Chains A and B, each alone.
Chain A
């Protein structure tokens, strides 16, 4: 089975500052990795995913994430955040057949003016 740990439940940051949201996973098999964003009272939206190839993955809204196999991490970064980035962010892993997804507990990003 797989599991996902998001170390920070809340991350406050000022507008235009850089941010990193941390995600670590555990799995006995190779997995695919995802980051989702959830705005208030909405469903989840895919930001980016890592399937294979380059370990640096670029997603929507200026976000990127780096897959580090040795550290079993998939941290999400943005060099300059906006007020509109205020949301909850979820890291997730899935098995290669995409049958099951395991989500972290979420990190609430609060961007302050």
Chain B
């Protein structure tokens, strides 16, 4: 049981390049989330998904697109990377969190630098 995995762990892009970050979970969770973490700003929600085939915008969606074609995968795309997108990206998954035993599981993060 690997939990939540993210690929790649590190990446350096040039301005204008594109890339896709992959998040995979093996816990059969319905909910999946993409966050970015910047110093002094905590985590900010980029996009989220409440089930296969559905996605929605979070707090800072501009410049990013997502897809959830399979329940276990949640992809985050940058079509034209900008230096402002330099950040650490975290994926998370969960069940509905409605009981005391439910929790949100986070991946190890992807450190992205855009030059």
Please list the residues of chain A having a beta carbon within 8 angstroms of any beta carbon in chain B: 4, 6, 9, 32, 34, 41-46, 49, 51, 90, 92, 94, 98-106
* Interface residue? B74 (CB, 8 A): no
Q: A44 to B44, Cβ gap below 8 A?
A: no
Q: A44 to B106, Cβ gap below 8 A?
A: yes
Task: Report chain A residues within 8 Å CB of B107.
Answer: 43
The residue from A6, A32, A42, A90 contacting B43, defined by CB atoms under 8 A apart: A90
From known contacts A99-B56, A100-B59, infer whether A105 and B41 are also in contact, taking CB-CB under 8 Å: yes
* Interface residue? B50 (CB, 8 A): yes
From known contacts A43-B109, A45-B106, A51-B98, infer whether A99 and B48 are also in contact, taking CB-CB under 8 Å: yes
Q: How far is the CA of A45 from the CA of B92 in the complex (A)?
A: 10
Task: Report chain B residues within 8 Å CB of A103.
Answer: 35, 42-44
From known contacts A43-B90, A90-B43, A94-B97, infer whether A101 and B33 are also in contact, taking CB-CB under 8 Å: yes
Q: B31 to A101, Cβ gap below 8 A?
A: no
A-B contact sample (18 more), CB < 8 A, given A44-B106, A98-B94, A103-B42: A4-B42, A32-B97, A41-B108, A43-B106, A43-B109, A44-B43, A45-B106, A46-B103, A49-B103, A51-B100, A90-B43, A92-B43, A98-B97, A99-B31, A99-B48, A100-B48, A101-B104, A103-B35
Name the 3 nearest CB pairs between A and B, nearest first.
A43-B106, A103-B42, A103-B43
Q: A46 to B42, Cβ gap below 8 A?
A: no
Give chain A nearest CB distance to B10 CB in angstroms.
11
Task: Report chain B residues within 8 Å CB of A98.
Answer: 31, 94, 96-98
Q: A101 to B42, Cβ gap below 8 A?
A: no
Q: Give 27 CB contacts A-B under 8 Å.
A: A32-B97, A41-B108, A42-B108, A42-B109, A43-B4, A43-B90, A43-B106, A43-B108, A43-B109, A44-B90, A44-B92, A44-B104, A46-B104, A49-B100, A49-B103, A51-B98, A51-B99, A90-B42, A94-B97, A98-B31, A98-B96, A99-B48, A99-B50, A100-B59, A101-B33, A101-B43, A101-B104
